[in-house]
Amino acid sequence: MSGRDPFCQPRRIRRGAALTLVFTSVLVAGAATGALPQSQGKSAPEEVRSAGSAANHADVARAAEEAMADGTSPVQAAKRAVSRSGDRWGAVYSPGEYEEFEESLDGQYTGVGLWARSERDGRIEVTRVRAGSPAATAGIRPGDQLRSVDGEKTHGRPVTEVVSLLRGDATDAPAGTTVRLGLERGGRAWTETVRRAQLSTDSVTVRKLAGRVTVIKVDTFTKGSGRQVREAVRRTPPRAGIVLDLRGNSGGLVTEAVTAASAFLDGGLVATYDVDGEQRALHAESGGDTTRPLVALVDGGTMSAAELLTGAVQDRGRALVVGSRTFGKGSVQMPSRLPDGSVAELTVGHYRTPSGRGVDGRGITPDLETGEDALQRAGTVLRGLASSS
C-alpha cells in the first residue's frame, strides 16, 4: 500500500520529520497494499507538472483553510482540490485515517484482510485475501470486484477512500464491528457482511522446495521486513538458491525495500528519485550475499517499493526476473499537514532503477515471462543457475 522517507523514522511525521517520502501502493483493506502507501496503474507514464509540488500543496492547504472559514469540511475541500489537480496518486487523510495508515505500515491494522487496487476503468478489484481473515472466511477471492462498502459505491473512487470505508475510519470503527460489501464475480453480484478484526501482517515467509531451493515470500514492506529478508538469506543452507517471491507485493516502506536489497548486494545504487527536480539516491548497505543464485518472481501485482527492489537486482545483474510485467507504480508522494490536522499526500517526483529506467506507467519486464507455472519455472531457472555456477 507506500514507501517512507529513507532518512526519517516511519511513524510520526509530527515528531520532527520535516518530510516523509512515500512511494505509494495501495492500502490494504486493513493493511498496506502498496501503500498504500499506494498504487494503481496507467498505460502511459505520469509526469510531474512543471508547477511543482509546492503549488499543489499550497492549493490544497488554501482549500482547507477556506472551508474552515466557511464552516464546511476541510477534508472534503482538500479532496476536491486534489481531484482537480489531476494527481492520480494524491490523497487526503483525516488525522485518524493517517494514524491508521501508519499503524498498518508498522504491521498492525483493523480491517477485513483483503488487498485492493483501482483498475484503469475505475473498478476496485480484490488482489489478495489474507488466509484466515474475515474476508477469507466470507469466501472473497482475488479477482472479485468490490462494488460498494456499506452502500457507498466504489466505482471511480480513489482506492484510499475505499480502504477507509472498509476500515471504518470515519467512525473509528473497532474490531468486531460489521461492514457490508457489495461484490461481483463472473457477472454474479451479491452482498456479504463481514466483521472487522485486529490483524497483524506476517509479511515475510520462508519455505524450502526440492532441489535446494529456498523461497522467500515478501507480501509487503512493513517495518522490520527488510531485516527479516536479510535474516532469511543468512539462514539459507549453503549452496541453496533463492527465489525472492514478490508477486502481489504492493509496496510499503522504501527503507525496508532498500534493506532487503542489501541482502543481495554489496553496497551500491538501488534507485534514484527526484523531489521537485532535485535528484537523490538510495544505496544498499555493504556485505550482502552476491554469489548465491537468485531469481526474483514478479507479476502484475508487484508494485512500488517492490518494483524498486526488482529493478535494482535486475539492472545490477544480481538476479534473473521471472513472471509477468509488474504494475508500474514509480511516483513519489510527499505528505504535508493541513490547517485542520489532516494530511495531504501529493506527487512530487518519480524514481528510476540503477540504469535510469523509469517504472511509472511502464512496469518492469521480466527476463523470462511465464504464466501460472511461474514458481515452477523460477525453480527450474534457479537450478540451472546453480549448476552453471
**Of the candidates 178, 200, 222, which is a domain's last residue?**
200
- Residue 196 placed within a domain: yes
Asked if residue 87 is part of any domain, the answer here is: no
Per residue in 124-176, pLDDT (tens digit) is 999 889 888 999 999 999 999 999 999 999 999 888 789 889 988 778 888 99
Whether residue 61 lies inside any domain: the answer is no
Among 200, 220, 239, where does a domain finish?
A: 200
Do 237 and 377 lie in one domain? The reply is yes
Residue 118 inside a domain? The answer is yes
Report the predicted TM-score, pTM, of the whole model to 2 decimal places. Answer: 0.69
Residues 164 and 127 placed together within one structural domain of the fold: yes
DSSP 172: T
Q: SS in 3 state form for 275-289?
A: ECCEEEEEECCCCCC
Q: Are residues 195 and 209 in the same domain?
A: no
Which grid coordinates are listed for 222? 512493513
Q: Is position 278 within any domain?
A: yes
Domain co-membership, 274 together with 224: yes
Of the candidates 19, 5, 39, the one whose C-alpha atom is nearest the C-alpha of residue 253 is: 5
Q: Which three cell numbers stand for residue 90?
A: 494524491
Comparing C-alpha atoms, which of 301, 367, 224 is closest to residue 34?
A: 301
Length of the chain: 389
Kindly report the CATH number assigned to the domain that includes residue 124: 2.30.42.10
Q: Give the integer Cα–Cα distance in Å for 273 and 275.
A: 7
Residues 248 and 363 in one domain: yes
Considering the domain architecture, whether residues 148 and 228 belong to the same structural domain is answered as no
The CATH number given to whatever domain includes residue 373 is: 3.90.226.10
Bridge partners of residue 370, in order along the sequence: none
* Positions in the chain short of pLDDT 70: 1-55, 107, 388-389
Q: Domain boundary residue among 168, 200, 232?
A: 200
189 and 226 belong to one structural domain: no
Residue 256 main-chain phi, psi, to 5 deg: -70, -35
Q: Is residue 286 part of a domain?
A: yes
Residues 115 and 209 in one domain: no
The pLDDT of residue 11 = 27
Residue 211: which domain range? 204-329+353-388
Residue 313 and residue 281 share a domain? yes
Assess whether 179 and 257 both reside in one domain: no
CA 154 to chain CA centroid, Å, is 20
**Within a domain: residue 45?**
no
Residue 225 placed within a domain: yes
Give me the pLDDT at residue 389, please. Answer: 62
Tally of domains in the chain: 2
